Each structure stands twice: as structure tokens, then as C-alpha cells.
Amino acid sequence: MSFKLTPATRRRLEKAARAATKACYAPYSKFRVGAAVLAGSGKIYAGCNVENASYGLCNCAERTAIFTAIAAGEHKLKAVVVYTPTPVPTMPCGACRQVINEFGPHAVVASVCNSAKRIDTTLPALLGEAFGPKNLR
Ligand code: THU
């Protein structure tokens, strides 16, 4: 069973993801992404995409937010919300899905954008039969 978000928490996450795009460093793709995660403690952590002249080193907004949460001492993720200033929502890439799985195998995942279109789903729906910590125990 995946975690259930209250409407108020969902709104706070969306607001934090939207605000995070102010710090985006995306001079190469010009594709701005903000993300916010709800961690086990109930705190929200945000992140933006951070690109690099060596393109392969670009870091997605989702992973920036997740790593910020983990660096603050969190161990679990309950929800991940992505925001892009686009007409359609953007979903986490495969690498980010795998990183979400590490800390939030049952996480709620939502994506919002600049239109009324949105996607509300869960990590198990996005990454079926995932490889994860359980395989190494
Ligand atoms: N990006 C994200 O930050 N999150 C996503 O879900 C998709 C892609 C970033 C990576 C790169 O900086 C830019 O968007 C274009 O791929």
C-alpha cells in the first residue's frame, strides 16, 4: 500500500517544488525542473536540476531533493512531487525512479505543470519488480 497524502500536504509539496525552480541551473537544456519530497519525519525538502558542461554529470531535481533530505538525516521518502513550467507534466527519469525506490519503495509520485494537467501515481506503478536493498539482504 502506498502512502496517502492529505490535500494540504500535497499543496505544500507542490508549492515547494514550484519555488525550487527559482534556483535551477539549466543553461544547456533550458529545461527547468523543481522537485519536493516528503520525508519520514514529515519535513519537506526541495531541489532543482543542476547541469554541468560535462553533460553526463547533470543532476535531476528529484535527486537533488532526495539527496538533500538524506544529507539532513532522513531515511525514508513518503512522496515526491515534480514541477515543470510546461504545458504537460514531466515524470521522473529511470535513474530517479531507482533512487526513489532506495528510500521510498511505496512513495506517492505526482507531477504538476503550468496547466491543469497532472499525473498522480506511485513508485511501484513506475518501477515494477524493482531491484533494491531487499535483493542484497
Ligand atoms: N530533469 C529533471 O531534473 N527531472 C526530470 O524528471 C527529467 C529531467 C532535468 C535533467 C536535465 O537538467 C534537464 O531536465 C533535461 O533533461
Domain ranges across the chain: 7-126
Answer for the pair 116, 93: CB distance below 8 angstroms, yes or no.
Answer: no
* pLDDT at residue 3 in the model: 76
Q: How confident is the model at residue 4 (pLDDT cuts 50, 70, 90)?
A: confident
* 62 noted as active-site residue: yes
Which residues 6+ apart lie within 8 Å of 41 measured at CB?
74
Q: What is the pLDDT of residue 36?
A: 99
Chain centroid offset of residue 8 CA: 18
Does the structural domain 7-126 have CATH classification 3.40.50.12140?
A: no
Candidate of 60, 62, 67, 83 to mutate for ligand 1, largest count of ligand atoms within 8 Å of Cβ: 60
Q: pTM for the full model?
A: 0.97
How many A from CA of 137 to the centre of ligand 1? Answer: 32
pLDDT band (50, 70, 90) for residue 44: very high
CA of 49 to the centre of ligand 1 (A): 6
What span, in angstroms and rounded, lies between the C-alpha atoms of 48 and 16?
11
From 51, 62, 74, 129, the catalytic residue: 62
